[in-house]
Structure 1
Amino acid sequence: MTTLRNPAARRVPRPRDLAPLMRFKKPQFDARKRRLDAALTIEDLRTIAKRRTPKAAFDYTDGSAEAELSLARARQAFSDIEFRPSILRDVAKVDTSCTILGGRSELPFGIAPTGFTRMMHTEGEYAGSRAAGRAGIPFSLSTMGTASIEDVKIANPHGRNWFQLYMWKDRERSMALVDRAAKAGYDTLLVTVDVPVAGARLRDKRNGMSIPPALTAKTVLNALPRPHWWIDFLTTEPLAFASLDRWSGTVAELLDTMFDPTVTFDDLAWIKSQWPGKVVVKGIQTVDDAVAVTELGVDGIVLSNHGGRQLDRAPIPFHLLPDVAREVGEHSEIILDTGITSGADIVAAVALGARFTLIGRAYLYGLMAGGEAGVDRAIAILSEQIERTMRLLGVASLDELTPGHVVQLERLVPRAR
């Protein structure tokens, strides 16, 4: 009769049993690489960014308008989804590429236009454009950027560069920027239409956020634990908007001074006639406006509430997406931004009808956390999450995603009239 062996019986450990367990991780002496490798999510990058960046600069990136409800609701909308996976599908190979606005992107997201980017990190738009070029995704330069149109093209000579336009009261000056972007080979113009005036960004006001950043007792004290940011800031090219003359005031005051609140659909049609490439309207927040600009013949729209930085309590782009897709999806390429913090968010947006997405804060958190290497890490995190989510959903390409893969759970439901 065979005696049953008791695996829980005590014994003296043998060297050959311990050897497989004694694998020590090779030390990483590069502090930045060690820091970035430990970041597994965009929220991890945000935590690092907050620790390394002065409060005024971090809050300019992290904050939104008034009570910041628009941003919180946009992020909550992505949390309030349920995925519906398909099983027993061959997902050994997953294709994350797509065609957007006449060109290829290796991933279903690009880098959104962001203003005053070199304040977050001195590498600014140069880091973002180079990282985008390596990843094979579009990079968008803001009118309020801190690198020139031509310099970004030099930094990203073979990648896709898009230019974001704010229409100023000085129309001639605005269109001079458009002409420069066309001559530099930018293939897409993003016309932003949701900024007739600046939103009330209360964090910036409370921080005394100005251009250039003002040194006060409070900002100096806040900077003491963050010497690397100040060393970079004080030993590199002075911070300024590349497309503007120097300004000594708050960001909101600058926007209110410059931006033209009289811009109409007729102006949009005129801008479209001046640009040789693709034209996309950024800042669509209703189905009616999506239909109206599509009828003007634009190539795409961006469902966006400006990252919650303009009108607080604005519509949630992700909630708006299915209705807009039904109305104009066959006639216009739909891009979505605001609230995206993971690759799963991007997959959900594509499933519900977005052709593409844009990331703003997610990329800036990486920039603040580690410069260009931090942007690379942000892109890598999102890419890994997209691939994993697609595999778990049972889809091998973006075209296989359908609305049936996602359920939007209800939290904020309009009250019956």
Structure 2
Amino acid sequence: MSNGLFGIERETIISNSKVRDIFTPFSPIDIVENLLGREKEVSQIVGVINSPGQHVLLYGDRGVGKTSLAIISHLLIKNMKIIRGKFFIKRCCSDDSFASIVQYPLKSIGIDYELSEITESHTQGGGAKIKAVIAEGGANSKRTRSCKRVVEINPSSPAWVSERLKDLKGVFLIDEIDALPRKNDKKRIAELIKLLSDSRSQFKLIVVGIADTGDELTAGHPSVERCLKETHLARMEDVALRNIIVEGMKKLQITPTEKVIDTIVDISAGYPHFTHLVCLKCAENAIVSKKRTVNMPDLEEALKDAVKESEGALKRRFESTLRGTKNEAEYRCILLAAAHCSIPEFTLSALRSKLLDRFNINIPQRVVSRYMSNMIVYRGKGVFDRVSKGVYRFSDPRMPSFIKMIEVQRSIAQ
């Protein structure tokens, strides 16, 4: 069908279908029933938040669903009325510091960094004291007498912040803490967690970040271990990814073939981000063309769109690696063989075995080693990292899925 002027007709059909509420590769899941395959982890987080003195540290690779898990856990906590109070979320960036992160909950209790004056109002009848930050013209009324005083604001001090937040009820999600450039800021967050734990505060923190170990996100703070429950979010099992595909498509009354399901699971390599991305493109095309079945040619078209909408950094790194190579076909085979290695780290011998099994290509080890070296040092942004002598891994663990999307689309088209 025609897309209409500027594709408006197509977008209207897709928008009305609500498909982008079901498959959400570009934003966290915020509907409880749409989070599949993480029931155990959600239960663990809810239990920790409901335990006095405990907070949550959630870490793992990019694209495994950490933020979605944290948001859904909060929604369950709220719906079950385990903790009554406010929910705050702060996504960190390289410009942030400890002080800029904690300003959100502090503002909710009337502390504004830009102001150092507080209006203290005394009621004429009972002598009760009300504190309010001066916003525009103070907080005067006919029944109050106001006076100003200067207060010390020290938002860089975990002790000062803890003293003011300890009586606040709620959950504070600090996302992408790995983006903080200074270790001291991570250490201050860890100190804040310990102080809140010591006071048995009902103000709970869920700290989320990309890391291989929890220590990377707490700057190795030694005293926070007992009050910070670390949860490593691993890649999803194939059966869970399959469930995302089948259940999501069922809601849209679309049926993918078994071959399509198996291929999407293989491409995803444990990352629900790619499952959602490919399924979204398959479903969008099916909805617009009024098809109820998704087969392999449909998947080919969906993969073209999925590659276009993948993260720019992945595309640039992949393209820059191949650009200017004399033997692009062999480099592509090596990349795809590495993408199919079942463990994150692989040896040259394991890579050669994959090349032989999948492509019937027998390349001498010294030649494979030279190719790998070229893809490590290329412009300082190589596809691979060398872990140790003869042992490699992808510098971005999502790269295998991106490579598979490209190569599967090419193989279907041939």
Q: Same fold (TM over 0.5)?
A: no
What band does the TM-score fall into relative to the shorter chain? under 0.3
Compare relative contact order (CA 8 Å, sep 6+) and give the higher one, 1 or 2.
1
Instruction: Please identify which structure carries the higher strand content.
Output: 2
- TM-score, with normalisation over the residues of structure 1? 0.24
